[in-house]
Amino acid sequence: MKFGKLPPTIAASLMLAVLAGCAHNSPYEPSDPLEPMNRKIYAFNMVADKYVLRPVTVTYVDYTPKPVRTGLSNFFDNLFYPSVIINDALQAKFKQSGLDLTRFLMNTTFGLAGLLDPASMVGLQKHDEDLGQTLGKWGVGEGWYIMLPFFGPSTNRDLVGRVGDNWTEPLQYTDLTIPERVGIAAVQAVDTRSQLLDFDSILQQQLDPYVFLRTAYLQRRLNQVYDGNPPEKLMEPELPDE
C-alpha cells in the first residue's frame, strides 16, 4: 500500500526530521522508544484486520480462481516496478537496473500490462528494491521501530523511503481521482494480504506477537539491505556479561 502524493516542501521536511534520528540497531535489540504507542496501534491494526481486511481477503481467495489472483499480483508487481529499477541505479547496481528495465518492458508488452510474467520464463529474476533499502545501502541506520496505522511495521528510514518512493511510481503522474486511487490501494491491500494468510497461524502461536513481528520485520529488512549477507554483529543478539 502506498502513500498519496505530498507537497515537495512538506515531504522534504518530513524526510529530514525522520532521518535525523536514524541509527543502526540489532533486530534483537531494536530502538523502540515508542513501544507503548506502537502496541496500541498494533492492537488497532489487528482489530481492523480481524473484522475487515482478513474476511474480505478470505472471501477473495475462496471465490477468485488462482490464475486470476496470480495475474492481479503480477499486475501490481509490474505497475510499481519502476521504483525497483530506479533504486537499483541509486544503489549502483547498474547491471541489475538494466535487467530489471528489460523485465519491466517485456512484462508490460508481451505480458499484457503485467498480467503475465514472461520475463521470469526467460530467466529474468524479479528483484525487490526500495528507497528504504537504498538509504540503508549508503549507511543510513533504520532508527526507531514504528508501527503505522493500517500500513503496519516500519522504521524511521523506511518511513522516509515510503514517502520518497511516491515520486518513482507511475500512478503519481496520472489523472486518477482520489476515489480511483483509494480503490486501487484497497485492491492492492487485499492482494498483499492474500499472500500473508499462511503467516496468521505462526503469529497466533507466539507468546508476544508484537515482539515476534518486530523482530521478523527488522531481520527481513536487514537481509534486504545487505542482499542476504548482513553483518553478523547486527544479526546476533548480545549475550550478557558473566
Residue 241 domain flag: no
The answer to whether 27 touches 237, Cβ cutoff 8 Å, is: no
**Residue 209 forms part of a structural domain:** yes
Residues whose CB falls within 8 Å of the CB of residue 238, separated by 6 or more in sequence, listed in order:
26, 28, 29
Give the global pTM: 0.86
- Give the distance, in angstroms, between the CA of residue 24 and the centroid of all CA atoms in the same chain: 19
Q: How far apart are CA 77 and CA 107, in angstroms?
A: 10
pLDDT tens-place values along the chain, 242 residues long: 444 444 555 455 555 555 555 767 777 778 899 999 999 999 999 999 999 999 999 999 999 999 999 999 999 999 999 999 999 999 999 999 999 999 999 999 999 999 999 999 999 999 999 999 999 999 999 999 999 999 999 999 999 999 999 999 998 889 989 899 999 999 999 999 999 999 999 999 999 999 999 999 999 999 999 999 888 777 666 555 54
- Rounded CA-CA distance 185/3 in Å is 9
Position 237 scores a pLDDT of 61
Q: Which amino acid is at 108?
A: T
In a domain, 32, yes or no: yes
Query: In sequence order, what are the residues at sequence separation of 6 or more whose Cβ sits closer than 8 angstroms to the Cβ of residue 170?
Result: 79, 80, 82
In a domain, 45, yes or no: yes
Domain presence at residue 242:
no
Q: Is residue 3 part of a domain?
A: no
Residue 139 lies in a domain: yes
The answer to whether position 211 is within a domain reads yes
Containing structural domain, residue 197: 8-235
- Tally of structural domains, the chain: 1
CA-nearest of 38, 45, 107, 39 to 73 is: 107
